[in-house]
Chain A
Amino acid sequence: MDLSYSEQYEAYRAEVASFLAANWPPQGAEQEVSQVEQASRFRAKAIEAGYLARAIPKRYGGSEQDADVLKAQIIREEFARAHAPGEVAGIGPGMLVPTLLERGEEWQKEKFVGPTIRGEIVWCQGYSEPGSGSDLASLQTKAELVGDEWVINGQKIWTSGAHRADYMFILCRTEPDQPKHAGISYLLLDMKRPGIEVRPLKQMNGAADFNEVFFDDVRTPADWIVGRRGEGWLVSRTTLKHERNMIGNASRTGMLLGGLVNLARRTTRNGKRGIEDADVRQRLVELEGYIRAHEYSSYRLLTKAAKQQDAGLIQMMNKLNGTNIGHRAAQIGIDLLGDQSLVAPNPQRTVGPIEGTAWVNQFMWSLGTSLAGGTSNIQRNVIGERGLGLPRDEAAQRSK
C-alpha cells in the first residue's frame, strides 16, 4: 500500500502543474474575451498538450494518449487545484462520445466527436418515457424506416437539457415484432427537425432543467443509427462500461462536509453556535465517516483500474453510496438552517461548496440524483443480484 506516486508520475504532475501555471488563469489580452471563450481557448491548449480528451483519437479532435488512470487522476487533481476548466461536462462528452467511439460509423465520429468534446454542440438523452422508466426496455416511442429516413412518433420525458440541446441520442422501437430488448435502435436526431415539441417540466425546486419531448413524424436520416437495427439496447449498455472513467469522483461528496461545517459555524442551535452543539458535532463526524469511506474506496477503484482488475462489489455501490451521502448531508443542512428553511431557495444548482439557503435546494436536488440514471432501488437490485448473487427478480424476468 502506497498512496504516493512514483517519481515518474511526480514528474508528470510537475509537468501538468507548469502547464497550468503558464496557461490558467488567462493573462493579458486573453482576459479580454468572455469566460466561455477563455475556457474554450484553454481547453484547446490542454488537448494539444495531451491533458484533455485523452481517450479520443487525434483525427476526431482528441489528444490520443495511452490509457493511464493514474495520469488521468493527476490531471484531475492538478486542474481542480488550479480551478482550471476540465473536460466539457454533460452527457454528450460523458456518454455519447464513448458510445460513438466504440460503436459508431466513421462519418459519425468525424461529424460529432470533435464539436461535442469542445462544447460546440450539446446533446440530450432521450431514454425515459411516461410508461418506461426503470423498465426502460419497455419503451414505445417508435421509429419506422420510410425511404431513406427514420420517422419517429411518440414521447420522451424527464429529458434533461432538451430545451438547450442541439441533438438527441434516442432509443426507439424499430422492430415491434421482436422481444422487448431486441426491438430497440439507438438513433441520433437533430433537435431542429420539424415535428419536435419540447415542453419544460417544472421541478419541485422550481427550476426547469428537464422536459417532455413530443415527436410527430420527426425525420432523421437512415444512417443516423449507432450500431445495427435492434442493437440499441446493447449500444446503450456500452456506455455503462465507461462509468469507470467517472471514478475518483468522490470530490463532490467531500465538498458537502466543508459546506456543512461552514453552515454550522454561522447558525445557532440551542442558544449556541451550531458547531458547538453536541448533537450536531456527532452528526457531522458520522457523515464524515461515510464520506471518507467513499473517498478511500475511490482510491481502491483507481488502483484496481490501474491494474486492469475488476473491483467487484464496491464498484456497483458507487452510485448508491454517493446518493446516500447526499441525503444524509442534506438532512443535516436543513436541520442547521432552522427557520431559514421556510424560505424558497434560488433553484439554480451551485457548483462549489453549498452555502446558506442553497441547502434547501440541495435538500431537493439530492432526491433528483437518487432517481436519475437508475433509481436507488434499481441499484439495490443490481447489488443484490449481480453483486451478492441473489436470485433475479421473477416479475422482471417474466416481462421479457
Chain B
Amino acid sequence: MNFDTSEEQDLLQDTLRQFAAQECPPNRVRALFDGDEALDLDIWQKLIELGMGGIAVPDEYGGAGLELLDLALAAEVLGETAVPCPFLGHSLAGLAIQLCGSELQRKTWLPKLASGEVLGSVAFAESASEDGAGGWQPEDWTLAAGDRLTGTKAFVPVGTRSDLIVVGTAGAGLALVEVGAPGLELTDAGGIDRTRHLANLSLRNTPCEPLAKSGPPVGRLRDAALVLLAADAFGGASKCVSMSVEYAKTREQFGVTIGHFQALKHQLANMATEVEPSRALYWYAAHAYDHIQEESERAAALAKSHITSQYMQVARDSVEAHGGIGFTWECDVQIYFKRAMFDRAFFGAPAVHRERIAQMSGW
C-alpha cells in the first residue's frame, strides 16, 4: 500500500519545473501567448531532449516505457507552468498508435514521435456544439472511414504545425493522415488558449491509413486523454491558488498586506480546499488506467469533470483575489483562466462526462 509518487517521479516533476523556470519563465509564456506562432520549436526541442516526446511510449519503440501516471505527472507541471507546447496532442497521437495501431504502424510511427522527428496531434471533435457534446466522443464520430477521408474536424491542438494527425472516424475508429497529403487543409481556429493553439481540419478525398483496432482501445484513448486534461487542470488550479496566495502576501492596502484580511484569507483557504484533494483524484484515475482497468473509465471521467470545473472556478476566484490587475491581459491569471477554459471544454464539457458516469453507474 503506497499511494504516493516515487522518487523518480518526483525527479521528473522537479526537472520539468526547473526547465520551465529557466527556459520558459512567465515573461516568455506571456510573449508566446501574445505571438502568433502555434509552436516554439526551441522549447519543444528542449522538451523532446528531456524525453517528453515518449514518456509512455514502450522502450522497444524508443520511448521511456513509463506509465500514464508518469505522463500525467508531466502534464501537471506543464499545466502549472503553462509552457506553450504541443504535449497534449503529441502524447495522445502516440497513445492512439500504441493502443490501436498494428505492429507495423507502431514500428513506423512511435520511434519518430518519441524522438520528435514527427509532431503528432489528434482530431476528434466534429463541430462546435452548444451542449459541449460536439461530436467529441468516439460514439459520436461520423466521419466516414475508408482509405480516403472527406469531411471536417474541429479543434486540433497545434494542428497547423503538426506532421501527423490521428483522426477519429465513424464506428469509434481512428485513421492517420499526414500533413501535406492531397485535400488536407488546416486553418487556425482562433482558439482562446493561446498556449495551445487550435486548428480546424478539412479533408477532401485525403488518403489516410486506418489504425488496425477500433472500439474498446479507442475508449482507452479517451480515458487517457481525460486523465491528462485532469492532471493539467490540477497543475493549473494549484498555480492559481499559489499565485493568489503570493499576491496576498505582497500587495498592501490599508497599511497591511491584504492577506491580513480574513475575508480574503478565507477565500484563499476555500480555493485551496477545493483544489488540493483533487491531486489524489487524478493520481487515482491515472493509477486505475495503468493497474485497475475495471475502474479506469469511470475514474478518468470523474477526474476530468471534477477537476476541470474546479480549475475554472478557481481561475475566476483568482481574478477577484488579484483586484484590477487580475482583470488585465498583462496578468498571468488570464493565461490560466484560458487554459482552464480549454481543459474544461476539450474532449467534452464536465456535464457530458457526468452523464456518462451516471450511465456507467446504471442509474
Contacts and interface: CB of A to CB of B under 8 A. Distances in A.
Contacts of A393: 262
Contacts of B283: 1, 296, 300
Contact of A389 (B4, B249, B276, B355): B249
B281 A281 contact: no
Given A275-B363, A300-B4, A290 B306 contact: yes
Interface in B171-197: none
A369 B177 CA distance: 58
Nearest to A273: B363
20 contacts: A2-B1, A3-B3, A3-B291, A3-B292, A5-B1, A275-B363, A281-B355, A282-B355, A285-B355, A286-B354, A289-B302, A296-B281, A297-B280, A313-B272, A314-B276, A320-B269, A321-B277, A384-B269, A390-B249, A391-B249
Contacts of B279: 297, 300, 314
Interface string B253-291: 000110110100110111011001111110110010001
B1 A3 contact: yes
Given A292-B281, A389-B249, A261 B363 contact: yes
B293 interface: no
Do most interface residues of chain B lie in helix, strand or loop, or is the interface mixed? helix
A299 interface: yes
A389 B245 contact: yes
B144 to A, nearest CB: 31
B199 interface: no
Contact of A383 (B262, B269, B299): B269
A372 interface: no
Interface string A93-114: 0000000000000000000000
Contact of A285 (B266, B268, B280, B305): B305
B6 interface: yes
A284 interface: yes
Contact of B265 (A1, A294, A385): A385
Interface stretch (A78-86, A149-157, A301-309): A301-309
B249 A288 contact: no
Interface string A265-293: 00000000001101001101110111011
A391 B249 CA distance: 8
Contacts of A388: 245, 268-269, 272
B280 A296 contact: yes
A208 interface: no
Contacts of A1: 2-6, 69, 283, 287
Contact of A313 (B257, B276, B281): B276
Contact of B268 (A73, A288, A377, A384): A384
Contacts of A317: 272-273, 276-277
B358 interface: yes
A286 B306 contact: yes
B358 A284 contact: yes
Contacts of A380: 265-266, 269-270, 273
Contacts of B149: none
Given A388-B272, A393-B262, A303 B281 contact: no
B248 interface: yes
Interface in B314-362: 351, 354-355, 357-358, 361
B1 A390 contact: no
A293 B306 contact: yes
A255 interface: no
Nearest to A295: B280
Contacts of A286: 305-306, 309, 354
A394 interface: yes
Contacts of B259: 384, 390-391
Nearest to B257: A391
The 5 closest A-B pairs by CB, nearest first: A289-B306, A296-B280, A299-B3, A293-B277, A281-B358
